[in-house]
Structures are given as structure tokens and as C-alpha cells.
Amino acid sequence: MTAGGAPPDHERLERDPRVVLTLDAGGTHLVFAAMRGAREMAPPITMAAAAADRAASLSAIVDGFQRLREQAGTPDAISFAFPGPANYPAGIVGGAHNLPAFAGGVALGPMLQERFGVPVFINNDGGLFAYGEALAGFLPWVNRLLAEAGSPRRCRSLFGATLGTGFGGGIICDGRPYLGVNGAAGEVWAMRHKLEGAHCVEDGVSIRAVRQEYARRAGDDARAPLDPREIFEIAEGRRPGDRAAAAEAFRRLGEVAGDALADVVTLLDAPIVLGGGLSAAASLFLPALVAEMNGRMQCAGREVPRTDLTAFNLEDPADRKRFVAYDAREVEVPGIGRTVRDEASRRIAVGLSRLGTSRATALGAYAVAIQALDEG
């Protein structure tokens, strides 16, 4: 993901004739798409990740791109998302705990460049998801809401968090991706678990976290392993099981994620967009997540807000209305005899992907490739 040059404009991307093959590589599935003009040329191809078998995983990646090439013709580039840590500029991946097949490092970018004969760009999955949502998803939607409400506020930065096999993150700063010195910016998974301090936050914000918490609380009712979709259906009363345990498994996830994201907004002061498979159950955890961000703590002997910002759940119509309202106040200019307008409160938006995780990631990958090709 390049740092130089002007960030691409989505309307210009929509007119671009170049073809880019993309991949969203997760711990469970590989989702491939061929993009032209910032749009998918055909329905995405989904394959099993074979996360623990290097040969099978590499074979699946090559096969997926080969099938895309047969659909779309020779591409101008390959650009895709892969979990960190990784040396993204060099195309070397490895170390992602949800893709153990690549432990120790694999020069995946050079391998694919040799195989397909086109430039290959690999970037952090959370970063590409956030980039797609910044270009044409959550960020423009938030700014449109503000404009329609007559508010002068606009947002140009964004944090994207993905909740699924793992807990990923990506930063968009002033319209462009921010990777950090080592390409490791946004790695939210490594923050500390609020409720279990010896654990990483991902142990509380992931598919395994929901499964484990439901099994712990449901006891005999959880003898057969359940996936989060089934636990979600139990919580909603649409499937037999321990409804209270299911609801608490998701509520707890929201609390743990909210604590980590409170740290994120303290540092970035940016809206947060949520994606990943678990975001489909947002109705069960998003209220707890936002409540945790708006919680209280002790500081210097007194109770203070968890952050200097108020988080608003934009999936809640009442919260959305409060967020876009321009909370103006008049502040006196000393010795001048007049006032200036100021916003009385500082607020942050939290909501769900407007594009869908894989589509947003593909768009981010497309934008990165087009910018890199333009810069030579």
C-alpha cells in the first residue's frame, strides 16, 4: 500500500478500464474477485483457506487467480489482502496465527508475480477493508448524513475493524491508508483483553470467543460444537438452546471489543466501521460495544468518561439523529464584545459496513493497485 501521491478518487476509479484480480484471504475462506472500474466483473469465487496446510493453501490461491484470469482475461495487476504480520512491500507473508500454514514466511508476492507475469501487491486485510469503506462505503455515508442534516462537520479518517476468525484493524488517515513504520499499524488484535488481562483482545473478540463463552455458560446444552450463526439463532429464540448463554456470549464480545476500540478512538479520533462475519450479529453486541466506549473510569481520584469523545451507534435511528445534529454554542471572544460559534460536544460514529466486507476489501485492493500502477 503506497504512501505517496494523491489518494484515488472513487469516481475516477469507476472510469478506469484496467483489470485487477483481488483476494480477501481469511482464516476460513479465500474470496476472489476480478475488478474493472472499481466493480466486480463477475460473482466472487469462494474457496476453503486450508489454513494449516501450506501446499493446499498455496494451490488454492493459485487456482483461484487462474480461474479469475480465465473469466476476465490477462489482468493489469494482482492486489489482495492477507493478515499480518507481514513484509507487505516485499510480498512476504507469514506469522498470522489464523493462517499457520504460512508460519516462518512465504514469498507469496514474488511467487504469484512469476506465475502470472503482472505486478502483485499484498496489504493488510483490515487496511484494505477500511480503504474500501472510506472510498465508497461507511465514510461517504456518514458525511452524507451530516450534510443532509446541515452540519458543517465532515470526516476524512476512518478505522476499520473486522470481527471473524480474528480481530483485525486498518487505519485511513486523511483519506489515505496508514501502515506505520513496519507495516503493522492497526493491529488491534494484540491489545489486552479487558476481562482476562493475560490474554490478547482477540481471545474475546472472535469466532472462537463466542463458541467458548457459549459452551462455558451453557454446559450440557453445548455438547455439540456450534458456530456463531447457530448461537445467534439461539439468542434470538429461533433455535433450541440456552438463550441467555447465547445472548451473553455476544454481549461479552461487545464489551471486550468496546474497550479496545475506546483506546483506538482515543489515539485516532476517527469513526469506526465494523465488518467481518460476526458483524451479522451486531444487534446482539453493538449496543454493549458502544456502551463500553461511553463508560466511566477513575482518574486522579474522580470518575471521568472512558474517552473524551461520545460514541454513537449509527445502526440505531435515535442515536443516528443525535450524532448528525449540530450541537452549536456561542463562545465569547474576551474583550471584543462578540461571540464565535463552536460545537458543544465531541462525537464519534460507530457502525456497520455499507459495502460488505469482501466487496470493501476488493475495492481497497483495486484502489491500491491503480494508484501503484499510476505511480510506476
% of the chain exceeding 70 in pLDDT: 96
Q: Report d(CA 215, CA 194) in Å as an integer.
A: 20
pTM over 0.85: yes
- Determine the straight-line distance between the first and last CA of the chain, rounded to whole angstroms: 13
Contact 137, 355 (CB under 8 A): yes
Look at strands 29-36 and 45-48 and give their pairing: antiparallel
Which residues have C-beta within 8 Å of that of residue 347, sequence separation ≥ 6?
309, 310, 311, 312, 323
Look at strands 45-48 and 272-275 and give their pairing: unpaired
119-170 pLDDT per residue, tens: 999 999 899 999 999 999 999 999 999 999 998 889 999 999 999 989 999 9
71-93 pLDDT per residue, tens: 999 999 999 998 888 899 999 99
* Strand (E) or helix (H) holding 268: helix 243-268
Residue 360 in grid coordinates: 470493501
In the predicted model, is pLDDT for residue 2 greater than 80? no
In the predicted model, is pLDDT for residue 5 greater than 70? no
Question: Greater confidence, 47 or 99?
Answer: 47
Q: Report d(CA 19, CA 38) in Å as an integer.
A: 9
Banded pLDDT at 250 (limits 50, 70, 90): very high
Q: Report d(CA 232, CA 59) in Å as an integer.
A: 34
Same CATH topology for 10-123+357-375 and 138-352? yes
Q: Residue 349, Cα to own-chain centre: how many angstroms?
A: 14
| Amino acid identity for residue 279 in this structure | S
- For the chain, which residues make up each domain, given as ranges? 10-123+357-375, 138-352
Contact 138, 351 (CB under 8 A): yes
Contact 323, 306 (CB under 8 A): no
In the predicted model, is pLDDT for residue 60 greater than 50? yes
Give residue 222's pLDDT: 57
Peptide bond into 7 cis (omega under 30): no
Q: Report d(CA 74, CA 125) in Å as an integer.
A: 24
213-223 pLDDT per residue, tens: 999 999 866 56
291-319 pLDDT per residue, tens: 999 999 999 999 999 999 999 999 999 99
User: The domain 10-123+357-375 is classified under which CATH number: 3.50.50.60, 3.30.420.40, 1.10.3720.10, 3.40.50.280?
Assistant: 3.30.420.40
In the predicted model, is pLDDT for residue 1 greater than 50? no
Q: What are phi and psi of 32, to 5 degrees?
A: -105, 145
User: The domain 138-352 is classified under which CATH number: 3.40.50.12780, 3.30.420.40, 3.40.50.300, 1.10.1470.10?
Assistant: 3.30.420.40
Give residue 182's pLDDT: 84
Across the chain, mean pLDDT equals 92
Query: Per-residue DSSP letters for 116-137?
Result: H-S-EEEE-HHHHHHHHHHHHS
282-293 pLDDT per residue, tens: 999 999 999 999
341-355 pLDDT per residue, tens: 877 789 999 999 999
Question: Greater confidence, 318 or 99?
Answer: 318
Largest CA distance in the chain: 75
In the predicted model, is pLDDT for residue 7 greater than 50? yes
How far apart, in Å, are the Cα atoms of 90 and each of 59, 104, 180?
21, 15, 15
In the predicted model, is pLDDT for residue 364 greater than 60? yes
Look at strands 328-333 and 338-343 and give their pairing: antiparallel
In the predicted model, is pLDDT for residue 6 greater than 60? no
